[in-house]
Homo-oligomer: A and B are copies of this chain.
Amino acid sequence: MSLVVVGSVAYDGVETPYGRVERMLGGACTYISLAASYFTKVNIVGVVGEDFAQEDIDLLAGRNIGLEGLERAPGKTFFWAGVYSEDMNDRTTLTTDLNVFADFDPKLPESYRNTPYLLLGNIQPGLQQNVRKQVNGTKAVAGDTMNLWINETRDELLETIKGWDVLLINDSEARLLTGQKNLKAAAKKILTMGPNTLIIKRGEYGAILFRGDYHFVAPAYLLHQVFDPTGAGDCFAAGFMGHLAAKELDLSDKSLDSRELARAVVYGSVMGSFCCEKFGVDRFRTLTRAEIDERYQEFRQFTSF
């Protein structure tokens, strides 16, 4: 079943200990849609400028991603540049040129409005809320956010996530959002804020899913080399929602098999790991579904006891 993805489409400049790329395709919507396209039909909503290259359109179209909601506006495409620390656990933003993204006011094409699955990339909560309202009955709405919105637009964010099934957040953000130091206590509190499912992302340590009294802990894949972690969290979200969409799972169903959610988390971890193997979205130029399934089986091997 189809998945609508809303978020930034951008050009990024990235420097890691393994190299530097001045300008390449990026943005949450781009990463999510490419990664999710291995699981289900994806339609995107985003905005690009006049400089957006045909080869980048071709990459998305080549993965059968629906581009009806990709608006082209006068001006330049959103540009972000950053540099990663030696251990890649921190990054410093060097440039943020919002350009056409400054006036991004996502509107869903009529044909998207009955989408059963909606994934809201990390943008201003008010915009996420507007999008949510444009969608009719769904099986799962998931959204990402960040410390900036928790600190600066807290009330709006709290109002926004009330309409979500899944909140994706990292551990420090979960603590910031709830004021709870203990992760289990923070999770419990977030599950009273609207979402019926919470995913706490832990970077190189994996992720935890919480839902009711159930929780599932997934490790991250141990890579030989992390070239560029940009987009890994987005690809995680993509694998998770992609599996839900592929299996037509409905998160409002309280009797939903929790093992399917666990599998979705593992697919998230798998997609996050592939993302880091090359710069930007490069890994998705060659990645095959067979490789995804093979790595999923590897997860079984190194977590079974």
Closest to A216 in B: B302
The distance from the CB of A19 to the nearest CB of chain B, in whole angstroms, is: 15
The answer to whether B223 touches A184 (Cβ under 8 A) is yes
Query: Of B183, B266, B305, which is within 8 A of A262 by CB?
Result: B305
When chains A and B are docked, how far (Å) is the Cα of A223 from the Cα of B305? 21
Q: What residues on B are CB-neighbors of A259 within 8 Å? A: 304-305
Instruction: Determine whether the beta carbon of B222 is less than 8 Å from that of A183.
Output: yes
Q: What's the nearest-Cβ distance from chain B to residue A213, in Å?
A: 11
Whether B304 pairs with A181 at a CB distance below 8 angstroms is no
Q: Is A185 an interface residue (CB 8 A)?
A: yes
Q: How many copies of this chain does the complex contain?
A: 2
Interface string of A182-226 (1 = CB under 8 A from B): 111100000000000000001001101000000111110011111
Of B184, B215, B266, which one neighbours A224 at CB under 8 angstroms? B184
Known: A184-B223, A202-B205, A205-B205. A216 touches B305 (CB 8 A): yes
Please encode chain A, from 255 to 281, with 1 for each CB lying within 8 Å of some chain B CB and 0 for all others: 000010011011000000000000000
Give the CA-CA distance A208 to B221 in the complex, in Å.
Answer: 11
If A259-B305, A266-B305, A304-B259 touch, whether A206 touches B183 (CB-CB below 8 Å) is no
**A160, chain B: closest CB distance, angstroms:** 27
B224 pairs with A182, CB closer than 8 A: yes
Report, as a range, how many residues of chain A touch the other chain. Answer: 20 to 34
Q: Give complex CA distance A87, B223 in Å.
A: 28
| CB of A303 closer than 8 Å to a CB of B | yes
A22 interface residue (CB < 8 Å to B): no
Residue of B nearest to A171 (CB): B204
- Please name the residue on chain B nearest to A221 by beta carbon: B217
Question: Do residues A222 and B217 form an inter-chain contact, with CB atoms below 8 A?
Answer: yes
A86 interface residue, CB < 8 Å from B? yes
A104 CA to B266 CA, complexed, in Å: 48
Question: A205-B202, A208-B222 known; A216 and B181 CB under 8 Å?
Answer: no
Q: When chains A and B are docked, how far (Å) is the Cα of A202 from the Cα of B202?
A: 13
For A208, give the chain B residue with the smallest CB separation: B222
Report the separation of the CA atoms of residues A185 and B265 in the bound assembly, to the nearest whole angstrom.
Answer: 26
Contact of B224 with A303 in the complex, beta carbons under 8 Å: no
Q: How far is the CA of A202 from the CA of B223 in the complex (A)?
A: 16
A15-59, CB < 8 A from B: 17
User: Which residue on chain B has the smallest CB distance to residue A187?
Assistant: B222
Alpha-carbon separation in the docked complex, A299 to B305 (Å):
10
Q: Which of B17, B206, B215, B262 contacts A304 (CB 8 A)?
A: B262
Chain B residues within 8 Å of A206, by CB: 205, 219
Q: In the assembly, what is the distance between CA of A223 and CA of B183, in Å?
A: 8
Given A202-B205, A217-B222, A303-B303, 9 further pairs, Cβ under 8 A: A184-B222, A185-B224, A215-B302, A216-B302, A216-B305, A217-B219, A218-B305, A263-B305, A266-B305
